Every structure is written in structure tokens, then in C-alpha cells.
Amino acid sequence: MMPSTRPLEGITVVSLEHAIAAPFCTRQLADMGARVIKVERPGVGDFARGYDERVNGLSSHFVWTNRSKESLTLNLKDAEGKAIIGKLLDQADVLVQNLAPGAAAGLGLSAAVLHKKNPRLIVCDISGYGENGPYRDKKAYDLLIQSEAGFLSVTGTAGEQAKAGCSIADIAAGMYAYSHILAALIKRGRDGSGSHIDLSMLESLTEWMSFPMYYAYQGASAPVRSGAEHATIYPYGPFTAGDGKVVMLGLQNEREWKVFCESVLQDPALAHDARFSTNSRRHENRAELRKLILDMFAPLTAQEVVARLDQAQIANASVNTMQDLWEHPQLAARERWTEVGSPAGSLPALLPPGVNNTFDFRMDAIPALGQHTDAILAKLGYAQGEIDTLRARGAV
């Protein structure tokens, strides 16, 4: 039987979070067993709660990034609200915040101030552009960072740029914040000291853009926008079979190119055609090669093409829809689905990526707004009458 102790049990995280980047970070910490106290504005909460109503009336973004957390409503501009956050942070291990630029510092919640009272505290500030530089105070949302980081310039078709279909700038920032916090916890375990992590969405997504940046080194041309095809490796992308269905395939080296010609296209001579003898030449002559491949696929169904690719051990994949992904046989076979509670009842949820044989992931409910306020304040020593008074005046 798998032991129940999770690696971050006993760690308390306070998060002043909204949207995706910080909530996605803290959800990873909660998955690993940390106690995450999500501080939200009274009556309103994290504005991501209102993005849509697609999941039994709940927001799809919020359901994704907020399981296993405690929701505390708190007015940080109220004197008692400030006192409460101070008490929490005196006892906390980690503070994560992605408020507007300068907002946390304006509330007296800068790392410099907090470390005077709790030198072991790990403070992670997530922002669009970082805490200094000419863009410091500029507002940042996911699509805007995709644009600033050059992602749109290499994504889409020749005629039109396209954004990613998910919030990749937020996801990148959230995951780098998560890994930085884990590293800071390890460091604190060695030297006893807290850390200040200054993490920007721009720098996170720019790291992911390193391949196209290096490809365009010293003013060279950047990868062209090529739709679902790889911009610089060919053949690598979607090809339509004779039955109209699309097969995604990819070749990575010259050995695979030779096998592809011999076993899939069944034209061994093509492997030695000078136009296609290296990846660079195949890339330069991709229009001609694409026509040849499509002509050879025309008499075949997609199933027959995939059978040949599998037999030749050439990488391929289905072009799945969201409904296909919900029903993916590999996810089912590996038992990646579970359920979590929510204000709208039980909901399906994917287990976090990866399997560790020494612990299971925490998969607790998605909180209602302010669901844990009374319990948290009671642990801090507030009587129920005091909590009721604070609520009546809008402090919690």
C-alpha cells in the first residue's frame, strides 16, 4: 500500500492570487500536500471565478487551477484585514502573489518587510515583466506576453498569426514559480533562510522561445509560420490520406527518412533523391515533397497509412478533438482520471503528470468563495462574534 505522507505536508502557503499564473503554481504545491490558503476579495473573489460557467456553472479556468485550497476572504485595505494577513504570514512558509505591479509592496507585503518578521519565509512575486526595468508597471495578460515574447511571430500560418490555444505564458510562469519555490524550500532546509523569488511571465515564455531565437541568431531569418507543420524539420506535420482523414507524422533523422521511403512510401529510390537527401534540403523543397507524399497516400485510408507508419516505427499521432482527449484510451489505461469535490458537486479531474511510487497526490475539493474564512480565523484566535463583526463591515 502506498504511504500517505506527501512531500510538502506541513508546508503552509498563503497566496494573494488571481487569474492563472499564481493559482496554477499553488495548485501544484497543493497537489504535493501543501496547505494553500487562497486569499480572495470579499464578495468578489478571484476574477477567474467569472470567466465562464462551462463546468456545471463553474469557471473552467477556476476548476482547473484551484482544487485542494482553502478560500479566505479578506479586505487587505482594512486595518484588521492587514492584521490578519500579517498573522498568517508570521506562521507561513511561502507567500505567492501576482497582484498588480507594486500592489503587494504598497500593502506592506514586500519581501524586505516580511523577512524582518519571518526570515524563513519564501516570497514569490509573479508579474508580467519583473520588479524592475522600463516595463515594470505595464499590465500583462497571457496573450499580451505571447505577443511580447515573439511567440505570435512564429505561430500560425503564412497569412495569419495565431495565439496558443491555452494560456502558455501563464502556465510557463506558474511552473517556473513552482520549481523555484521547491528549490527555495530545499535551500531553506540546508541554511534555514528564506528567499525572495522575482519571476516574470516574459522571461518564462522567452525561455521557451530559445529555439526560434537561436535559429534567428545574428539577424538570420526566423522560422516561418507553418501552421501545424514543423517550421524547420520535414516531413513533420499533418498529411491527408485518401479517405480525407488527417494523419500526423514526424521524422527526426536520416535513418528514419530512409525507412519512411522504403516501408511507408514504398519508394526506396526517393531516399537518395538529391532534393531530399538532408533535412535542410527537404525543408527547402517541402512543397515538392509534400505533393509526392500526398500522391502516395491518396490510394490509402488513414488507418492504412498509420499501419504502415507503425510497422516502420515512424512516429505518428491522431489529430484529436477535446472530446477525443476526454476519452483517450491511454489516459484511461493508466488510470489518470479521478474525481474532486466542488460547489457544483463531484467533477472529473486529471491526476498531476507523473507517478511517484512513494505517495499519492492530494486531490481535494475546489473551494467556494470564502468557504474556510471562519475556520482559519478561529485558528488565529478570533471568536465567532468577532468574525461576524468583521464580516458585517466588509473586512472578511
Q: Which of 115, 230, 328, 372 is catalytic?
A: 230
Q: Amino acid identity, residue 195?
A: S
Q: How far apart are CA 177 and CA 190, in angstroms?
A: 20
Are β-strands 337-340 and 347-350 bridged in parallel, bridged antiparallel, or unpaired?
Answer: antiparallel
Distance (Å, whole) CA 85 – CA 256? 59
Rounded CA separation 95/100 (Å): 15
Interstrand relation of 69-73 and 195-200 (parallel, antiparallel or unpaired): unpaired
Neighbouring C-beta atoms of residue 217, cutoff 10 Å: 7
Task: Let me know if 115 is a catalytic residue.
Answer: no
| Residues 361, 59: Cα–Cα separation, whole Å | 23
Q: Cite the DSSP H helix spans in the chain.
A: 21-31, 60-65, 79-91, 103-106, 111-117, 142-148, 168-191, 201-208, 210-215, 254-259, 279-284, 286-297, 302-311, 322-326, 329-333, 373-379, 384-392
Q: Please choose, from the candidates 385, 245, 344, 361, the residue with its C-alpha nearest in 3D space to the C-alpha of residue 303.
A: 245
Active site residues: 230
